[in-house]
Amino acid sequence: MLHYEISGNGKEPLVLLHGFMENSLIWEEMEPYLSTSFRLIKIDLPGHGQSKTYGETHPMELMAEQVKNVTDKLQLAPFHILGHSMGGYVSLALVEKFPHLLKSMTLFFSSFLADDEDKKEQRLKSLRIIKEAFPNYVKAGVPNLFNPNEKDILEGKIELAKEIALSTRTQGVLAAVKGMAERKDHTETISTFEGKILLIAGKHDSAVKTELLLKKLPGKTNIKSYVVDCGHNGHWEKPAICAEIINTELLHNLPKKLVF
């Protein structure tokens, strides 16, 4: 079973799924802002953190099934789920397969769109670099995920992100890249899901095409979207603002498409 930790004093269960080359430690800065509202279940995805690797490829559906094993054990249903980046892809697979288990889904600097051909090619080309020079891959790539206008302010957090990425086993990194490259488009998934859908995006996100994502977002009353003045890592760059949106939207209602 996947490694998980539980914290928080709230009644509402919120499952937190980290992104690629991350683990459950990424939530530490946002956790104090969420812990009074939610019971937080922080899960290490396959091949990341303290969770084992399950094979040469980790499809998003396999990861979703492993997450469900944890939520079944804890008897959480119905629950909220929030996924950062790759964790959002896993959340979408979970929504598609088990929509009845979920109260809401938050795509946290993530996308419901499949990779285009250029992105798939980029992922597959990265496999060789990861195998041959993983530290260089981390050191070159991680800083680009933060707001380029605030890199001096965010220097400590960038170093922490590198440290967490470097702690990820190479086998798990490779399996995740292969799984992400083959993931499907989930426009229909979010169009048919009846629970609350919250999308939090970054104005300076180099990993997600925010403008395209907002254009493709279905115009349904259960879907809310926010654009935050940060890069790909709102949990480190704007933790208080992101937590305020989550607390407000999952427990109350506000107008659609507010910009912070």
CATH architecture of 4-259: 3-Layer(aba) Sandwich (3.40)
Whole-model pTM: value is: 0.96
Contact 75, 33 (CB under 8 A): no
Locate the domains of the chain by residue range: 4-259
| Per-residue model confidence as pLDDT tens for the chain (260 residues) | 999 999 999 999 999 999 999 999 999 999 999 999 999 999 999 999 999 999 999 999 999 999 999 999 999 999 999 999 999 999 999 999 999 999 999 999 999 999 999 999 999 999 999 999 999 999 999 999 999 999 999 999 999 999 999 999 999 999 999 999 999 999 999 999 999 999 999 999 999 999 999 999 999 999 999 999 999 999 999 999 999 999 999 997 444 444 44
Dihedral sign from CA coordinates of 4, 12, 252, 217: positive
